[in-house]
């Protein structure tokens, strides 16, 4: 019974956080819409793994170090921003004829590992996420909280986030939905590229407060 309240609390907050717009949502949408269901799923699993890293940071106290060190926070923030800018630029430079001449079902060619890595990096290189989970865990975890419960909460967060994005990947890659966007793929790629660049800029301008 003592586990129930923190599990429910963390579960609800994690799901709401996953559903909010951000780099993770953008990257899963991109790979599911322009890649394939398989690529979207492996990207989603990568996002879940990246979230697990944030959780581990928070539980080990590294998150506290990041929250207290402007230098470390800034370094991670800029690396993450540059990564998002790079992915956005790759989409923006796509030529219209390449999209029209390609197989409309798969416009992005990524291996399972590349998709997984893209999900991990997009999630892991956002220091704001570490601070977010650090603030959450400090509300439900205290020095008396057992290690078993801490590990359970960490796994719960990663699983909930991963399952949410896997579900999203299934919906976005559903054939009728993909086909409904097929004629606008070129413009959607440009929009998605612009969104990723804006998210990169937003991340670069973020502060710890």
The one-digit pLDDT tens for each residue of the chain (209 residues) are 566 777 787 788 888 878 877 888 888 988 888 888 899 999 999 999 998 888 887 777 766 666 677 887 788 778 878 878 887 887 777 666 555 444 455 567 788 899 999 999 988 888 777 777 777 776 666 666 677 777 788 888 889 989 999 998 998 888 777 777 666 666 777 787 888 888 788 878 877 66
Q: What is the pLDDT of residue 198?
A: 86
pTM of this structure = 0.76
Q: Which two tokens stand for residue 92?
A: 């923006």
Q: What is the pLDDT of residue 83?
A: 79
**Count of the separate structural domains present in the chain:** 1
Q: Distance between CA atoms of 10 and 93, rounded to whole angstroms?
A: 40
The residue range of the domain holding 16 is 4-205
For 26-59, what is each residue's pLDDT tens digit? 889 888 888 888 999 999 999 999 988 888 877 7
Go through the chain and tell me how many residues it has. Answer: 209
- 3-state DSSP of the chain: CCCHHHHHHHHHHHHHHHHCCCHHHHHHHHHHHHCCHHHHHHHHHHHHHHHHHHHHHHHHCHHHHHHHCHHHHHHHHHHHHHHHHHHHHHHHCCCHHHHHHCCCCCCCCCCHHHHHHHHHHHHHCCHHHHHHHHHHHHHHCCCCCCHHHHHHHHHHHHHHHHHHHHHHHHHHCCHHHHHHCHHHHHHHHHHHHHHHHHHHHHHHHCCCC
Q: At what angle do helices 23-34 and 37-60 cross, to 10 degrees?
A: 160
- Any residues with CB less than 8 A from the CB of 45 and at least 6 apart, and which? 116, 119, 162, 166
Q: Does residue 130 contact residue 63 with C-beta atoms inside 8 Å?
A: yes
Q: What is the pLDDT of residue 54?
A: 82
Q: Distance between CA atoms of 187 and 114, rounded to whole angstroms?
A: 24
């Amino acid at each position: 019974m003592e586990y129930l309240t923190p599990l429910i609390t963390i579960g609800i907050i994690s799901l709401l956080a996953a559903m909010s717009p951000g780099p993770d949502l953008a990257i899963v949408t991109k790979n599911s819409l322009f890649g394939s269901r398989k690529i979207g799923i492996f990207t989603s699993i990568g996002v879940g793994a990246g979230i697990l890293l944030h959780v581990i940071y928070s539980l080990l106290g590294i998150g506290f170090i990041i929250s207290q060190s402007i230098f470390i926070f800034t370094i991670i923030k800029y690396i993450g921003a540059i990564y998002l800018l790079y992915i956005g630029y790759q989409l923006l430079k796509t030529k219209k004829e390449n999209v029209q001449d390609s197989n409309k079902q798969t416009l992005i060619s990524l291996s399972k590992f590349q998709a997984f890595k893209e999900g991990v990096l997009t999630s892991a290189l956002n220091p704001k996420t570490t601070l977010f989970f650090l603030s959450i865990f400090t509300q439900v975890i205290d020095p008396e909280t057992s290690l078993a419960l801490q590990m359970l909460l960490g796994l719960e967060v990663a699983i909930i986030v991963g399952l949410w994005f896997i579900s999203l990947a299934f919906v976005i890659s559903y054939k009728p939905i993909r086909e409904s966007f097929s004629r606008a793929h070129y413009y959607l790629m440009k929009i998605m590229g612009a969104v990723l660049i804006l998210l990169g800029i937003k991340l670069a301008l973020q502060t710890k407060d």
